[in-house]
């Protein structure tokens, strides 16, 4: 596969791709995402607005596969529900125009469950159908892949070749304890003021549990509905970015630029992919 990684973030698709193919170009507007991507993969993504990227530039990459995770806010339970009308879908709409002009041979799109049945889903399916490509709409969650984390997601997989359906694994989630840092960062503990205000809304888990909630980009700022918090003998703390990265299946060597704030690290992780689940979606190609 010669891959265009669109909305590349910290490079979750590239992590999942491994030896299945080569990323010929990655695109993301975020400086923090691109610095993290470059640190981990050695290549610098193109800091380009995808809503205006010219057809000639995309065609020049000679990619046969598009892997993409467009912004999910237009389709999120807590988002705008505006789908294609949301300004954050502008880049997706433009990419659908490019698809008409220069379609890839294969495509995998990842998004939240709310993408299914949306106008964007209908538009993508129309483009795929017009090319006579095969399509599978998959729904999967890492909690079935042995990871103690929920992150239900949709994968639209399309190819000119017939697709290879793969049953979703049904592995028991491991203990959260296996994903914790050897040494705790005490600054992650929540102070009494925060506990007073948010305690009742916190999703609390313990090291002996086999589950955690989906960590979203706002985990560094929000307490309720943003992910789980760990209860230990010392109190209640956030999961560290390294712990969230392990729960997403990122490799142990995954790093952030030193200067990146805690908040920015959580934002990138919350926007990223569960790597084993994305790898399973790629196996359908
Ligand atoms: C859902 S995240 C994708 C994360 C990625 N799959 C990963 O593994 O980290 C969406 C990404 O798209 C980028 N993005 C959003 N709108 C964009 C646009 N119009 N042009 C280029 N990048 C955009 C954001 O900066 C963000 O990193």
Domains of the chain listed by start with CATH number: 2-169+273-282 (3.40.50.150), 176-266 (3.90.120.10)
Euclidean distance between CA atoms 249 and 158, whole angstroms: 24
Euclidean distance between CA atoms 256 and 35, whole angstroms: 8
Cα 19 to ligand 1 centre (Å) = 23
Q: Is the CB of 51 under 6 A from ligand 1?
A: yes
Q: Is the CB of 74 under 6 A from ligand 1?
A: no
**Is residue 167 very low, low, confident or very high in pLDDT (cuts 50, 70, 90)?**
very high
Phi, psi values for residue 211, rounded to 5° = -150, 155
Structure-block tokens of residue 129: 């159908």
Cα 147 to ligand 1 centre (Å) = 24
Given a cut of 70, whether residue 79 has pLDDT beyond it is: no
Q: What is the mean pLDDT of residues 145-163?
A: 98
Residue 273 CA: which ligand 1 atom is closest?
8
Nearest Cα residue to atom 26 of ligand 1? 9
Residue 33 CA: which ligand 1 atom is closest?
27
Say if residues 27 and 45 touch (Cβ distance below 8 Å): yes
Phi, psi values for residue 112, rounded to 5° = -75, 165
Range with the poorest average pLDDT among 70-79, 179-188, 249-258 = 70-79
- Pairing of the two strands 153-159 and 106-112: antiparallel
* 195-204 pLDDT per residue, tens: 999 999 999 9
Question: Quick one: what percent of the chain has pLDDT higher than 90?
Answer: 94
Q: What is the mean pLDDT of residues 209-223?
A: 95
Euclidean distance between CA atoms 154 and 269, whole angstroms: 18
Q: Is the CB of 49 under 6 A from ligand 1?
A: yes
Which element (helix H / strand E) includes 283? Answer: none
**Bridge partner residues of 134 (DSSP):** 159
Cα 28 to ligand 1 centre (Å) = 5
- Collapse the DSSP code of 279 into the 3-class scheme (helix H, G, I; strand E, B; otherwise coil) and give the result: helix
Ligand 1 binding pocket mutation candidate from 54, 67, 71, 154 (most atoms within 8 A of CB)? 71
Query: Can you give the pTM of this predicted structure?
Result: 0.96
How many CB atoms are located within 10 Å of the residue 183 CB? Answer: 7
Structure-block tokens of residue 80: 């705008």
Number of residues assigned to the chain: 285
Q: Is the CB of 271 under 6 A from ligand 1?
A: yes
Cα 108 to ligand 1 centre (Å) = 15
Cα 90 to ligand 1 centre (Å) = 12
Say if residues 68 and 48 touch (Cβ distance below 8 Å): no
Give Cβ neighbours of residue 270 (< 8 Å, ≥ 6 apart): 215, 216, 217, 218, 219, 226, 227, 244
* 81-126 pLDDT per residue, tens: 788 888 999 999 999 999 999 999 999 999 999 999 999 999 999 9
Cα 160 to ligand 1 centre (Å) = 26
Using only C-alpha atoms, what is the Rg of the chain? 19
Cα 234 to ligand 1 centre (Å) = 37
């Amino acid at each position: 596969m010669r891959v265009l990684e669109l909305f590349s973030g910290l490079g979750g698709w590239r992590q999942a791709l491994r030896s299945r193919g080569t990323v010929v170009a990655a695109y993301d507007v975020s400086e923090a995402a691109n610095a993290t991507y470059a640190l981990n993969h050695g290549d610098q993504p193109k800091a380009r607005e995808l809503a205006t990227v010219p057809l000639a530039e995309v065609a020049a990459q000679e990619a046969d596969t598009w892997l993409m995770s467009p912004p999910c806010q237009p389709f999120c339970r807590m988002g705008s529900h505006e789908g294609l009308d949301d300004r954050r879908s502008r880049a997706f709409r433009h990419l659908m125009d490019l698809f008409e002009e220069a379609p890839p041979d294969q495509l995998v799109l990842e998004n939240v469950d709310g993408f299914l049945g949306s106008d964007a889903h209908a538009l993508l399916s129309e483009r795929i159908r017009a090319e006579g490509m095969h399509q599978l709409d998959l729904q999967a969650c890492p909690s079935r892949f042995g990871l103690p984390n929920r992150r239900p997601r949709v994968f639209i997989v399309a190819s000119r070749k017939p697709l290879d359906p793969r049953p979703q694994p049904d592995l028991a989630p491991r203990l959260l304890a296996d994903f914790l840092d050897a040494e705790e960062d005490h600054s992650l503990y929540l102070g009494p003021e925060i506990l007073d205000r948010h305690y009742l809304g916190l999703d609390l888990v313990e090291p002996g549990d086999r589950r955690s909630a989906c960590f979203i980009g706002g985990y560094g700022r929000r307490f309720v509905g943003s992910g789980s918090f760990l209860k230990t003998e010392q109190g209640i703390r956030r999961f560290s970015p390294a712990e969230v990265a392990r729960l997403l299946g990122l490799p142990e060597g995954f790093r952030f630029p030193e200067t990146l704030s805690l908040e920015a690290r959580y934002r990138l992780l919350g926007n990223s992919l569960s790597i084993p689940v994305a790898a399973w979606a790629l196996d359908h190609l």
